[in-house]
Structure formats: C-alpha cells, structure tokens
Structure 1
C-alpha cells in the first residue's frame, strides 16, 4: 500500500473508486473518502456481485446455491498498486483503483475475470514464456438514444451535419468529432492508457482505437478503463459511444482484434520465430490451438445475444477459423512483420467482450495448442469469408453455451466454478432477452398472423 498511498497524496486525491470487473465487464464496487480507503486497505463486497447479469439481475436459484455460500458472505478486495487511474472527468480529485478478490483464507476468487486471466498467465510463466498483446477496439458514435425501441442515429459533427454513407479511413470524417477525440486522448494520457492510432472504420460513425503492445494484464486493465473513459468523453460532447457488437442494422459490427505473440523470458526472443527467421513449430501449433479450441470458448469472445449478429451471413466479420498472411477475410490473420515481431491477430472477439476474459481465452487456446502440438489447417490465399474452416463456429449464444458446458478443456483450465458461473450468468441474460418483444415482431406479426 505504500506506493499507492504516495500516489494518492501526490495527486491530492479526495475520493477513491474501489472497483472489480464482473463477468460482463461492468465496474462494480464502492466509492470511499481517501482517508477511509487508506485506513481499511481495501474493501469487501458480497460474493454475488460476480454473478450479476448485464441487467443487474442474478443467476437462477439452483446455480446461485451451488456456486455461493448460503450465508451470502463477502470476499476480500485487495487494491493493485499497478492498476490506479486518476479520473479526469470528475469534479472531486478521484482515483479508480482496480482490486483483486480473495476469500478469507487468501485464495483467489475463481469467479473473478481478472483472476482468471492471471491464472492463464501463470501457465505461461511456468513455461518461461510471457505473452505480448495489442488490442484494437472498434466502436460507434451515435446520438444519445432515450428510447431503446428506436434505432441508433449518427451524431452531428463539427460541420453541423450527421455523417452519411461509409467513410472508411477518412481523415475528414474522423475530424468531425475532433473535440471529443482531443478529450479522449488527453484523458487517456492522464491515466497512462497507451493508446496509439485512431482510424475511421467501415461503418457510419464507426471508429477504431489501437493500443500499443505490452503486458497482457496491463492491457486488459487499460481496455476496461478505456471503455469507461470514451463513454465519459462522448457524454461530455452530448454523444453516445457504444461497444455493442452490432448496434446498427445493415452496418458492420464492432470487434476487439487481439494481436498476440509470446516471448521467451530468458532470451527475450519471440518463440514464434526460429533463429533463421522462419516460423517456428510453436507458431503453427499456437494457430492450431486457436482453431481447435475457440469454438469451445466462444462465449468468452461473443458473450451476448447481440454478439452473434456480427456472425450473420454477409456480415463483415470473419465467420471462420481460417488463417492466412495479410488476409483480413480470415478469422486468424498474420500481419506482415519482422521475425521478432511475428504475431497472430485473433479477429473473432466482439468489442462487447470482457477484456480480461477474451484475452485469457485467446491465450489459453494458443497455450493448449502449443502444449498438445495441434496442427493447423492449410493457410488461405484468397477469400475465406464463405468458409468455416477447422472447427465450425457456433452461430447462436445457446449453441455456444452448450458447447462450452461440455468442454473438457474449459473444465480443466478454467475450473468448474468459473465455467458453471459464467454459463449461469449468460443463461440468465438469455432468459431476460427472451422475455422482450422486439420491434420486428410488432412490425411484421402484429396485424398479419
């Protein structure tokens, strides 16, 4: 706590937001005066926080009783001194501190997404390997939407006009929202978020932010904080920013592209490359692992009903597990690079995915591939959009959850508690979704059936 206390005093912090990340990626926790935070050296939260759904509901009674203590006890939250972010948008000087979660015996809480990522990283550490990741986050800017039954509309830019048509890579179209992005960059810099390039994506008012490559846990924290930062910057300018996987009909979905490579901790060399610069056997088996195991872990990449709208026929998302060099139609793309920077880009995850879980899942698939020496398919040279190579991807959340429930790999590496808890949360989300009557049903069924 010494380092953390020094930071709080140096920045004249008066309030601390003590947060943990739930299954959905929502920040849950408490806000405390800085003095109380320092005195208590953390906080406690009820175990049930980690089994809340996106609607704030809880899992069914049977799952609840099987996964949690009957007394609804607290777990212990310990602040991570390396995950402290000063919030630039608050009136009071406020710091957000990400916490790790433990039971009273000091054991990591298995339902915690951050703990799950740390568990996967421990597998790599035991092998003398260190993952290096670089996320790319796509998102849409829209007008503030007060009625969820109404479609989202592009916001008005500096010109006084809303964007129309698709403006891929347009500098002028991105500049329409300069005041918002200036605040976003300033706020990210103030928080130490290592964001890099901003581009206009294919969709109307769809953008992408690239993160610089680095430590997997740090980047997961940064994506978690960035989502909130961008939303706050957008609201300041009377705009909404959304990371929904498919927020607008007939527009491309939004992805979280995950670039990943593995470094040998002793030599510092990229294990995907041989000494002569050729691709190593571990490179190929990592791809094989992604192809074999992504279908079993797909709910960690596509966690919501809306996630699978990216996978509809004709959508721009690569609905396949093919791989190829410089091939954006493949779900697994190998960008052109030097041997030391050789990496794999996993293009399957949606922007709505929990950053801790999607990074953990991608790294775990690659790890299992290397350990089991899984052979990949033949690389694709042309278009891969019409194929579903390797193991086929489930195309609905129901199907994906059923496959995950039967996965021995999930049980072995993620554990029964996390696997059952995550599936229970997503099943509860699914049940809530089924209760809602959609505008499509009212439009086409109301007076015709």
Structure 2
C-alpha cells in the first residue's frame, strides 16, 4: 500500500492537553488539499446497520462545496438494515473533519466518512448509526450531567494465514490455518513449506512473547503507523492470549462519535494490511475452539469541561458516586445492552466462564472476572474510568458506545446501586455465593428478548428511535438467528448420528 505524494499533510499532530487531532475542518480546506497534493479520487464511506463500511468513489471535478451541503445520492435499498425498494433514494453528506489518505489504495485516494440523509424529509436518517452516536452526545449535554463522554476500546482480533468455510444442503465446514497455531507444532513442514521452525504459542500462552513466537510484530507496527497517518492515535500493540495470531492494538481515548469513526478506520486498516501480506484479519469473536476469544473492553468516563466526573479521592477505588451510579446503569441494563455490544450468535461462544470472559454482572477493581472493572494502574484523577468488558469487536461501535452511554446516564439519573464490589475471582466462588451474581445472557436470542423488554432508557432524547430498535430486532432474528437455527451443526453428527 503506497502513500501518495503529500500524505504527510494529513498526518496528525496531537495537542497533549486536549487529545484533539489537527485535521481539515471545512469543505474549502478539503478542496485546497486535493488540488495541492494532486489527489484525483475521493472515497465516500458510511456504515450499514450491522456495522460494516460501505463506499463509492468520485473524481476531483465532483468535489465542490455543494457536495458537503447538498450531498450525493445512492441506493439505500441495497444497504443492510436501510430502506425498502420503494423508498430507496438516499443522500450521503461527507464530514470534512474525517478526511484521511486511504492506505488501502495504490491510486492516491482521500477518504471521507459520511452522514446519511433522507432526501424527502431533509433530515438525518434515523437508521444511520453515526447519527445515533451524534444524538447520544447531544443528549449527554442536554442532561447537564457532563459535557463529554470519552471512550477507549481495546479491540482484539486474529490474523490467520488462510480461512475456508462453506455450507450447503448436504455439507458444512470451516478450516482455519495459521503457521503460529499450536496445532502445527507436530507438522512435518511449516504451514506453507520451508520446514517446521517451532515456536508456536501454546493455547492460552500467547500473551506478550517476543519474536520468533510472535510472528506478527512488524505487521502490527505497520498497521499502527498507517492508523497514525490516518489520524488515529495509538498507545500500544501486542500479541494477545490465544495461539494462532491473536492481536491487540489500543487506540488513545477520544470522544464517543470520533472513537466510533476510529474503530471503523482501525478495522479497515487491519484487514487491508493483513491482505497485503497474504493473510486475513478477522474481528469474529470466537473463531477457535478451546482458546481465548476476541473482546472489545470499553473504557469510558464522563467529563464536565476539564474535570473527570468519575474521580473522587475519598471514594472506593478513587471513584465518585456518579461513576458508581453509571456502573449501576451498565449492570442493570446489561442484558439489553448485549443485543448491541455482543450482537452475533458467535459472541455467546465467547461469553462463557474460563476464558477471561466477563460473564458476571458485578463491579470490581483490577479484577478481570467482573463485567465492570476499575483499572488501578494510576492514581491520577484523569485516569479514573470504568472498563466494561462484555462487548466484543463484532459490535457496531456507533450503536454499542451510544447504548452504553445511555445505560450509564440512566444509572446516574436514577442513582442505581451497582452492589458491593467483588474483588475476588468470581469464577471460583462457592455455589451458594455464585448463585447471587447475575450473569450476561447465554445467547443472542436472550439478549434480543431483553432489548425488546427493556429499551426505554435507549429512547430518551430520541437517541435510539423505535424504528432503529425494531429494525435491529427484526434483522437479527430473521437474518442471523433463524438461519443458524435451521442448519445442522457438525458436532450434532458426532453426538447424534448413531442414535
């Protein structure tokens, strides 16, 4: 992936005090930069309801100030979770503050993240996930509780050497291959010839080993440098716990909508850098049986101007009452939240005890077996935050972040008690105590039912409209639950073929 001439003009410069990134701010800035750096292609990106980026590209003569004011048309009926065919005409309006040089293209290309507009109503489109995030931030300000919500998600993902899968009326399979996989320790040759060089991370022992165990150091570093060129500040990267190429790259926290934008850029760059190296990146939560899955632990805090409202020098774990009420809201509404935060059938193969999975709806400090954790790395007031560990990277970040904020605000408004801290390994609690600890739902179906029963907190301020919630429920049930329910599972043949 080549960097076009003048790409450095779009590289970030970060104000250490505010963590704001210097970017083009107006349509005129964009037009001037395109001409100055001889960029001929502009790519317009937006997010469908499940959370996958969509795009189309235009040429330089089509980029003018009217594009940003009036938008450009597309067929909304071909986008998952959007319009019916009889109401298909929709508009995209690019956000000039999101510009970045696209690292996935050899032809110099500028990417812009767009908002979706209904051309008949002349209003933002209710099912545009980015619009939901905008409304969540605006609702926060309207409450007077805080001015800003910061998010810092930790997205984990796998990089495999290859993946094959398929299913039809009479067969079904998947096959994952990784030269790093512990299952290859006895192979006569490496995954693609050249001899078996050993150094396979053992199951659950992939956390932090140096090369040659960690074969993906340079690929992650390449991803990090491209993320920074695209305006996403990165703090750290490393190999994760699972064998076969599990990774984590941590972005610097920023505001809710901007972080959701960054998550989309993050996934896009990870997938394209892996492809450049002849590999494949996946954010599917649980692609491997017997080893750890990929989570998206979400650090979050509320601020009023420059004051972190989650800090109290005299509170438990240095947290304020407001922070604990926020946690109370997360725990109270967690079953419904999981419909957005763990939104796939595969998510619930991660949410089982024994794999650092946060199935227990409890509050703790330092303790990774609890759903809501207070990190204790620093005593700084600015560092006080809650880490909600239930989400995974299959989530649509715009919807998941917004839902968590709305649950937390409901907790604050109703002063919800999160319960006593459980600073123990909850997995090892004796049965008489463990039975008193609520757990996350055991399936996507349970989470969708919980969302259907508990969504009033999401509809405050019209942040999540009934239209969005109903469409989400219908899409997940008909496009994901039913197809999984109707197909035989390979393990069923092992269990039942001889019955």
TM-score in terms of structure 1 length: 0.89
CA distance 1:123–1:240, shift in 2 (3 Å): same
**Does 1:440 pair with 2:491?**
yes
Contact 2:77-2:84 within 8 A present in 1 as well: no
1:106 and 2:122 are equivalent in the alignment: yes
Pairing 1:291–2:331 present? yes
- Whether 1:141 aligns to 2:159 is yes
Q: How does 1:82-231 map to 2 (within 5 A)?
A: 82-104=97-119, 105-126=121-142, 127=144, 128-148=146-166, 149-155=173-179, 163-165=200-202, 166-172=205-211, 175-204=214-243, 205-231=245-271
User: Equivalent residues in 2 for 1:242-253 (5 A)?
Assistant: 242-253=282-293
Cα distance change on mapping 1:43 and 1:280 into 2, 3 Å: same
Could you report, residue by residue, the CA deviation over 1:315-342 in whole angstroms, capped at 9, with x for unpaired residues? 3311011111111111111011322321
Note closer, same or farther for the CA distance 1:389–1:345 as it changes in structure 2 (3 Å cut): farther
Aligned equivalent of 1:17, options 29, 43, 46: 43
Does residue 46 (structure 1) correspond to residue 75 (structure 2)? The answer is yes
Q: Which stretch of structure 1 is more off in the superposition, 247-256 or 177-186?
A: 177-186
Shift of the alpha carbon at 1:70?
6.7
Question: Where does residue 16 of structure 2 map in the other structure?
Answer: none
Three-state SS of the structure 1 residue aligned to 2:208 is coil
Shift of 1:357: 1.5
Structure 1 partner of 2:446? 399
* Structure 2 residue aligned with 1:30: 56
Deviations 1:190-216 (A, max 9, x none): 211112211221101211111111222
SS for the counterpart of 1:150 is strand
Provide the alpha-carbon RMSD of the alignment: 2.4
Q: Secondary structure at the match of 2:200?
A: coil
In the other structure, the counterpart of 1:349 is: 391
In structure 1, runs of 5+ residues without a counterpart are: 53-66
Quick one: structure 1 residues 262 and 410, their matched pair in 2 at CA, closer, same or farther if it must change by over 3 Å? closer
Q: Secondary structure at the match of 1:193?
A: coil
Greater Cα shift, 370-379 or 2-11: 2-11
| Pairwise CA distance, 1:274 | 3.8
Alpha-carbon distance in structure 1 between the residues aligned to 2:230 and 2:278: 22
Q: Is residue 335 of structure 1 aligned with residue 364 of structure 2?
A: no
What residue in structure 2 maps to residue 322 of structure 1? 362
Between 278-287 and 294-303, report the one with greater CA deviation.
278-287
Q: Distance in 2 between matches of 1:411 and 1:51?
A: 22
Q: Name the SS for the 2:350 alignment partner.
A: helix
Q: Identify the residue that residue 304 of structure 1 maps to in structure 2.
A: 344
Measured in 2, the distance between the counterparts of 1:80 and 1:390 equals: 45
Distance 1:13 1:81 in 2: 15
Counterpart contact for 2:336–2:447, Cα < 8 Å: yes
Within 2, Cα distance between the matches of 1:3 and 1:367?
Answer: 37
Q: How far apart in 2 are the matches of 1:264 and 1:410? A: 22
- The partner residue of 1:367 within 398, 409, 417 is 409
Q: Pick closer, same or farther for the CA change 1:49–1:323 going to 2, 3 Å.
A: farther
Deviates more, 1:156-165 or 1:291-300: 156-165
1:419 lines up with 2:466 in the alignment: no
Query: How far apart in 2 are the matches of 1:94 and 1:163?
Result: 39
Larger radius of gyration: 2
8 Å Cα contact 2:157/2:284 also seen in 1: yes
Alignment CA distance shift 1:9-1:275 (3 Å): farther
- The 3-state SS of whatever aligns with 2:268 is helix
TM-score, normalising length from structure 2? Answer: 0.81
Instruction: Give the secondary structure class of the aligned counterpart of 2:107.
Output: coil
Distance 1:142 1:389, change over 3 A: farther
* Shift in CA distance, 208/9, structure 1 to aligned 2, threshold 3 Å: same
- Please list the CA deviations of residues 73-119 of structure 1 after superposition, one character each: whole Å capped at 9, or x if unmatched: 32221101111221123121112211011222332211111111111
Cα deviation, residue 162, structure 1:
7.1
Distance 1:203 1:14, change over 3 A: same
Q: In 1, distance between residues paired with 2:103 and 2:52?
A: 19
CA contact (8 A) 1:273 1:279 kept: yes
Q: 2:307 aligns with which of 246, 269, 275?
A: 269
Q: How many residues align?
A: 432
Q: Which residue of 2 aligns with 1:409?
A: 457
Offset of residue 362 of structure 1? 1.4
Whole-Å separation in 1 of the counterparts to 2:96 and 2:309: 30
CA distance in 2, matches of 1:190, 1:20: 20
Counterpart CA distance in 2 for 1:237 and 1:68 is: 37
Higher RCO (CA-CA < 8 Å; seq separation 6+): 1
Within 1, Cα distance between the matches of 2:85 and 2:160?
Answer: 44
